[in-house]
Amino acid sequence: MKPGFVSIHRYSIPFVRPVPVRGSSLDTRDGLVIGLQTHDGSRTGFGEIAPLPGLHEETLPEALEQFVSLLPALNLSIGDLSLSDAGQELPDDIFPSVRAGIEMSLLNLQSVASEKFPTFPGAPEPAKKLPINALLFGTTESVLAMANDYFRQGYKTFKLKVQAADPDLAVEQALSLRSAFGYDISLRLDSNRSFQLEDACALFSRIPRESIEYIEEPVSDPFLIPEFFSRTGIRSALDESLWMNPGIWNELPHECLGGVVFKPSRLGSFSRTLAIALEAEAEGIGAVISAAYETGIGLGFYAHLASAISEKPAACGLDTFRQLSRDIVPGSFDITKGYLLTESAYRNSLKPDLSTLELVETWTL
C-alpha cells in the first residue's frame, strides 16, 4: 500500500531557557512535521524532520527543499517494513534528518494502518518501561538541587556535562554527587570531545573510577579512547564519533567502551542505529537512544525503538522534552519513578495536535 497524500507543517517552539549547542545558543526549536496519509484519508503517519543547528550540517530550509524535491521520485510504500529496512528504497545521499523523518513517517503510517508496532526480525519482547537519565547542568548548588529533585522522583541515572574550560568544576560536581547519593545513582559524564588526552587523564583521574559509569567522548581524538582507558580505567561512550568517524565502532576495542549513544536523526538510518545497538547490547555495552530536542513525535518513536532493542534497555537520553516550553503531543511523556511507559508514549506520538502549526505544503502522490 502507498500513501496518497503528503502534508508538511512547520513548528517553532521556544525553549524554557536558551540551550547551548556546540558554541551557539538556541532560543527556539524549529522543525517540520510530515504526514503521509492513505488514499481514503482515514490514516496518517507522522514523522519529524528537525535538523538542529550546531549538530546537523543541513539547515531546516535545505532539509525542506530536499524533501520536496525528492517527493515525485520516492517509492513510498508500506506493508512489510521493519525498523531494519524502512529506508532501503531511499537514496543514499539524502540528509540524515530527512531520511529519519521519512522512515519514521512510513513506519508510523504502517503502524496506524495495521495496528501493530514497528519491529524487526528476531526482536525481543519490547520493554514496557524505559529508564530515563536526567540531565544536570549549572552551578554545583543547582546541580545538587536538581539531582535531589530527580532522585525523589525515582531517577537513578544522571548525566553531567563537563567542559575543559572549567575542569575543577567538573571534579567538584562529580564528587559532590557521589558524596550526596553514594552508589544509589549511576553517573555519566559528557565532555563532547573537549579535552586533549593528557588533560583528560589528569582531570578524570581525580575522580574515583568506580564513581563513573562512563564518559561520553572524553578526548578530542576518539581513536585515543583506548589509551585513555588504559591510563584511567574509566570506560567511554561513543556519540558524535559515530557520524564524524564512520566505521569507528569496528575500529576500537570494545572493552574500553561502557556505552554507545545514538541520535537517530543525526545518524539518519534507523537500520544503522539498530545494527550497532544490537551488537553493543550483545556484548553487554549499553545502547543509549538520545534525542536532539525533538517533539513528542520523535521522542515517542525513539522510546519505542529503545524498548525494541533490549528487554532491559539502558537509561536513555530522552529527558530533553523538559527544555521545550510546550509540545505538539500533549501528555506524551509521563515519567513515573524515573521510568517511561513505552507503549503509551509511542501511541501518543501517533496523534499530534497540529492546530498551532503552520501548514507549509500539501501534495497528492
Query: What mean pLDDT value characterizes the chain?
Result: 94
All structural domains of the chain with their residue ranges: 5-116+353-364, 129-349
User: Fold for domain 5-116+353-364?
Assistant: Enolase-like; domain 1 (3.30.390)
Cβ pair 252, 279 in contact under 8 A: no
**Grid coordinates given for 119:** 519491529
Q: Which of 109, 87, 143 is nearest to 264 (CA)?
A: 87
Residue 131 corresponds to which cell in the numbers above? 529508564
Domains 5-116+353-364 and 129-349 share a fold: no
- The whole-number pLDDT of residue 332 equals 62
Q: Alpha-carbon distance 144 to 182, whole Å?
A: 13
3-state SS class at 318: coil
Tens digit of each residue's pLDDT (9 = 90 or more) over 268-298:
889 999 999 999 999 999 999 999 999 999 9
pLDDT tens by residue, 309-363: 999 999 999 999 989 999 999 876 788 899 999 999 999 999 999 999 999 999 8
**Is 3.20.20.120 the CATH classification of the domain at 129-349?**
yes
